[in-house]
Amino acid sequence: MPEAPSSPQPFTARAEPAALEDLRARLRATRWPDVPEDAGWSLGTDIAYLRELVTYWADRFDWPAQEAQLARLPRFRVRIGGLGIHFVHARAVAPAGPVLPLVLSHGWPDSFWRYSKVVPLLTDPGAHGADPADAFDVVVPDMPGYGYSDRPAGPPLDSVAVAGLWSELMDVLGYARFGAAGGDMGSHVSRYLALDHPDRVVAVHRTDAGLPVLTGDRAHLTPEERAWFEHVAAWGASEGAYGAVHRTKPQTAAAGLTDSPAGLAAWIVEKLRSWSDCDGDIERSFTKDEILTNVTLYWLTGTIGSSMRMYHANAAIPPEQLARRVEVPSGFSLFRGDIVRPPRQWLERVANVVHFDEPERGGHFAPFEEPELYAEQLRTFFRPYRAAASG
């Protein structure tokens, strides 16, 4: 028989001093690669910037302070589907109307960290200049193999399976109906929540539509859609090497990235820079402390390999699953600095679009880069569906 879910238990993470000393020792012993003259970021992570970041990480970064900051979020662990799942569960503060439960799904290369700034804006809008009637109960799980959730011992779980876990999690928390939102891998998970649990998901919000999958004739696409397919192919040729590694040989990269914190930072920092709305200056979107909080979470939990393996699992999802259309009311906020932004014609093809916006600021990590703007997008989109969740 399937294992019954356990009761959620409060969770606080505290890194052992020995683990932090080992990290600092590894950072100080980094063996640096040679660098072609004037390479900058053109061949991957800028080694000059990485040296600066690693020095800061070893000598000035205060992980206990960042750990304490994250501990201000109400965090729990629960056993679902045989796995320990870590999640934030923050309830609405002084709501002035029906409270909508909302499950937020992160992507790669991050964790619950992606939503750490936006949770207070969603649970207590009145304290942040917004309407108290827009308060949410917010649930932010770490996907299996990410953050403080367990790593699957066997085959990695795909987005379909994770959506099933989130449905169970919301059931354990007492939410019969709820909204779902996410980006990157979390967009896939939110999509399958809407596809497989339409009786429970009142509406779904996404910041992207993933990479396009077409099972029919491309001749039936609009000119805008065909141009987008060409753009996606060009992006994949110039930027998609990481995804090919994750899908095919994740353990090869994991051996080096789990052993070298500088290598781990290089793998993640390049994506933070190229996928955010920073115009080439990563610290326009993230401070060093913010970057290193995300990277240190990966380091201390040893989850870079397990997080990459989810790409391998998703690559095996059958085409007929990928071709399904979402009929649950869907909203899309395509932030200016995000990657491979689809045209509205494609969104209409794959989902029941009732809301579409293109915010002028923010990128792939919009909930972290522009939390106020992202929160307002969610408030606006989900406002008509509050009564449906409470009824």
- Give the active site residues: 184, 311, 364
Report d(CA 165, CA 83) in Å as an integer. Answer: 10
Q: What is the pLDDT of residue 391?
A: 56
**Per-residue pLDDT reduced to its tens digit, 130-186:** 999 999 999 999 999 999 999 999 999 999 999 999 999 999 999 999 999 999 999
Q: Average pLDDT, stretch 116-136?
A: 97
Longest CA–CA span in the chain (Å) reads: 64
Q: Please state the pTM of the whole predicted model.
A: 0.96
**Per-residue pLDDT reduced to its tens digit, 360-381:** 999 999 999 999 999 999 999 9
Are 370 and 335 within 8 A, CB to CB? yes
Is the pLDDT at 25 greater than 70? The verdict is yes
Mean pLDDT of the chain: 96
Instruction: Identify the structural domains of the chain with CATH numbers, from first to last.
Output: 9-390 (3.40.50.1820)
Model confidence band, residue 20 (pLDDT cutoffs 50, 70, 90): very high
Report d(CA 259, CA 262) in Å as an integer. Answer: 9
Are 123 and 93 within 8 A, CB to CB? yes
Q: What is the pLDDT of residue 217?
A: 77
**Residue 212 tokens, joined:** 């396009």
Is the pLDDT at 5 greater than 80? The verdict is no
**Residue 294 tokens, joined:** 């995300």
Q: Average pLDDT, stretch 19-40?
A: 97
Report d(CA 86, CA 149) in Å as an integer. Answer: 5
**Per-residue pLDDT reduced to its tens digit, 272-295:** 999 999 999 999 999 999 999 999
Q: Average pLDDT, stretch 211-217?
A: 80
**Per-residue pLDDT reduced to its tens digit, 231-266:** 999 999 999 999 999 999 999 999 999 999 999 999
Q: What is the pLDDT of residue 359?
A: 97
Closest by Cα among 158, 178, 183 to 168: 178
**Residue 344 tokens, joined:** 């509205």
Q: Say which residue the tokens 């939110």 belong to.
A: 190
Report d(CA 353, CA 344) in Å as an integer. Answer: 9
Sheet of strand 100-105: strand arrangement: 9-10, 75-80, 83-90, 136-141, 100-105, 178-182, 201-206, 326-333, 351-357
**Per-residue pLDDT reduced to its tens digit, 64-118:** 999 999 999 999 999 999 999 999 999 999 888 899 999 999 999 999 999 999 9
Report d(CA 148, CA 136) in Å as an integer. Answer: 24
Q: Is 26 left (phi over 0), alpha (psi -120 to 50) or beta?
A: alpha
Q: Say which residue the tokens 């992160």 belong to.
A: 106
Question: Burial code of 143-161, b = ≥16 C-beta within 10 A, e = fewer?
Answer: bbbbbbbbbbeeebbbbbb
Please state whether beta strands 326-333 and 351-357 pair in parallel, antiparallel, or not at all (unpaired): parallel
H, E, C per residue of the chain: CCCCCCCCEECCCCCCHHHHHHHHHHHHCCCCCCCCCCCCCCCCCCHHHHHHHHHHHHHCCCHHHHHHHHCCCCEEEEEECCEEEEEEEECCCCCCCCCEEEEEECCCCCCHHHHCCCHHHHHCHHHHCCCHHHCEEEEEECCCCCCCCCCCCCCCCCHHHHHHHHHHHHHHCCCCCEEEEECCHHHHHHHHHHHHCCCCEEEEEECCCCCCCCCCCHHHCCHHHHHHHHHHHHHHHHHCHHHHHHHHCHHHHHHHHHHCHHHHHHHHHHHHHHHCCCCCCHHHCCCHHHHHHHHHHHHHHCCHHHHHHHHHHHCCCCHHHHCCCEEEEEEEECCCCCCCCCCHHHHHHHEEEEEEECCCCCCCCHHHHCHHHHHHHHHHHHHHHHHHHHC
Contact partners, residue 132, CB within 8 Å, separation at least 6? 94, 95, 96, 97, 125, 126
Report d(CA 131, CA 111) in Å as an integer. Answer: 28
Sequence letter at residue 158? D
Are 270 and 238 within 8 A, CB to CB? no
